[in-house]
């Protein structure tokens, strides 16, 4: 039985997993680990270095030259790739178009899972991704599986890209990209996206971020230690 509390959030792309995870971490005073950013950073490295994903030897060698680290500012998770801040670049379309294929590689998943499990050994954490509750932390006390209408997800992602200055990507491009990623994520051989048997479904198609946070907190509170042992942050 774990002494620390692990909250695992899985689900489809652009369902707001990171938004919820960050809000939970801030409310509970937990550490937020963005597993998706790790796979995106690996994808960015592969793109920059022209790594052939079909070449197992090349992939294995590349992974030995990738060092990922997180640092936090105001509960925002920032990731560095070999010491370089890449939090913005990994959200651009070139990475989005390739991350599902990269994350499906056995060598990549094995290395990322190893690092993620190390992060969650002793601290209270919130982690979101595709296989957190099934592969990384099958013993997590709280598991949520997030979903939403595909059109709503595409609109959210489109607005996010626009807010970051991306005016070259159309809503149709985003919708097609999400459909492609959904197929790749759910059909890959290594740790496909599936709902853990004990995961609670959270469909946020028609609810606000505040409402989804309230929903999640209701599921977390029964697992919290005595209030004297954990300081809730306002």
The mean pLDDT values, 10 residues at a time, for the chain of 234 residues are: 86 92 91 89 98 96 92 74 95 92 93 87 88 93 96 94 91 95 88 93 95 96 62 44
Residues in binding site: 11-19
Residues 25 and 41 in one domain: no
Residues 61 and 19 in one domain: no
The string of pLDDT tens digits covering residues 21-73 is 999 999 998 888 888 899 999 999 999 999 999 999 999 999 999 998 877 66
- For residue 39, the domain's CATH number is 3.40.50.300
Residues 165 and 52 in one domain: no
Residues 22 and 90 in one domain: no
- 5 occurs within a structural domain: yes
- 11 occurs within a structural domain: yes
- 20 occurs within a structural domain: yes
Residues 213 and 154 in one domain: yes
Domain that holds residue 171: 1-30+123-221
* pLDDT for the residue 112: 93
How many domains does the chain contain in total?
2
Residues 42 and 7 in one domain: no
Decide which of 81, 105, 122 is a domain's last residue: 122
Residues 62 and 163 in one domain: no
The string of pLDDT tens digits covering residues 95-105 is 999 998 999 89
* pLDDT for the residue 35: 86
* pLDDT for the residue 225: 65
Residues 48 and 164 in one domain: no
* pLDDT for the residue 232: 47
Residues 45 and 86 in one domain: yes
- 100 occurs within a structural domain: yes
Decide which of 104, 122, 140 is a domain's last residue: 122
* pLDDT for the residue 72: 67
* pLDDT for the residue 36: 87
In angstroms, what CA-CA distances link 151 with 66, 124, 163, 170, 208?
A: 35, 34, 18, 13, 16
- 230 occurs within a structural domain: no
Q: Computed from CA positions of residues 156, 201, 31, 84, in that sequence, does the dihedral angle turn out positive or negative?
A: negative
- 147 occurs within a structural domain: yes
Residues in binding site for ATP: 11-19
């Amino acid at each position: 039985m774990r002494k620390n509390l692990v909250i695992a959030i899985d689900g489809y792309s652009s369902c707001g997993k990171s938004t919820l995870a960050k809000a939970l971490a801030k409310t509970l005073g937990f550490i937020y680990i963005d597993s998706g950013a790790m796979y995106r950073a690996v994808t960015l490295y592969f793109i920059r270095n022209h790594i052939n994903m079909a070449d197992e030897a090349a992939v294995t060698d590349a992974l030995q030259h990738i060092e990922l680290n997180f640092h936090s500012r105001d509960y925002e998770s920032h990731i560095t790739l070999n010491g370089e801040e890449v939090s913005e670049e990994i959200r651009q379309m070139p990475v989005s178009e390739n991350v599902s294929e990269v994350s499906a590689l056995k060598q990549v998943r094995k290395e990322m899972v190893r690092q993620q499990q190390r992060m969650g050994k002793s601290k209270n954490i919130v982690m979101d991704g595709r296989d957190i509750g099934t592969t990384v932390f099958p013993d997590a006390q709280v598991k949520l599986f997030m979903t939403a209408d595909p059109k709503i997800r595409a609109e959210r992602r489109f607005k996010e890209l626009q807010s970051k200055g991306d005016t070259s990507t159309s809503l149709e491009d985003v919708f097609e990209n999400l459909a492609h990623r959904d197929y790749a994520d759910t059909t890959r051989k290594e740790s496909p996206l599936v709902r853990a048997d004990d995961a609670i479904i959270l469909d946020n198609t028609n609810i606000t971020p505040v409402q989804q946070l309230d929903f999640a907190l209701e599921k977390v509170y029964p697992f919290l230690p005595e209030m004297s042992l954990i300081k809730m942050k306002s």
